[in-house]
Amino acid sequence: MAARGSYEELARHLSGIGAVRREMSRGFPADCPPASAAVLALLHKYGEMRMSRLAELMVIDMSVTSRHVAHTAERGWVERLPDPRDGRSRLLCLTERGRRQLDTLSEATTEALESFLHDWTDDDIARLNGMLARLRESFGDCRARVTRQDTPHPAARHCSRK
């Protein structure tokens, strides 16, 4: 348990971190809002998945997820395939175009972070990543639990279609 002041400082930072995110996404293509970028990044990292799981990973309601995915599907970045094991469900997977789009985004992200964080060492960034991962886990553990099996399996399957 920490002092009240530390909590208040953390709250201020959390509320201010949105500016960092905004700044970072300024370099994104106009038709690819941050939410779409998140969809692509998660499909790339975790591979093919259903809507409900993507919603869990993004920690937003499935109704919202549905619209984000629709946006990416309209641009041909993601395909919604029928789930052979459940007719209600749809399997999302990154297309070739989606992968290319993600490359563009990744380049913009890296470029921005390299310039902003030029005086951060590798270890600095690794430490920050570690703490943010733990922070998100601490919050995640107290709410809609993400199904374990979520470990980023290296053999993430992707859509094979063009």
Partner DNA sequence: TATTGTTATACTCTATAACTATA
Partner DNA sequence: TATAGTTATAGAGTATAACAATA
Binding footprint of its own copies on the chain (CB under 8 A): 1-4, 6-24, 34, 37-38, 41-42, 45, 58-60, 106, 109-110, 113-122, 124-129, 131-133, 135-136, 138-139, 142-143
Mutual angle of helices 51-58 and 62-74, in 10-degree steps: 110
Q: How far apart are CA 4 and CA 37, in angstroms?
A: 36
Considering only residues 67 to 86 of the shown chain, the ones binding DNA according to CB under 7 A are 67-70, 80, 83, 86
* Nearer CB in complex with DNA: 16/152: 16
Do residues 66 and 128 touch, judged by C-beta distance below 8 A?
A: no
Do residues 37 and 69 touch, judged by C-beta distance below 8 A?
A: no
State both tokens at 88: 């209600």
Q: Binding partner of residue 76 among DNA, its own copies, none, CB under 5 to 8 Å per kind?
A: none
Considering only residues 24 to 43 of the shown chain, the ones binding DNA according to CB under 7 A are 33-36
Q: How far apart are CA 81 and CA 132, in angstroms?
A: 33
Residue 51 makes contact with DNA by CB under 7 A: yes
- Collapsing DSSP states into helix, strand and coil, what is residue 78? strand
Positions that interact with DNA (CB under 7 A): 18, 22, 33-36, 50-52, 58, 60-70, 80, 83, 86-90
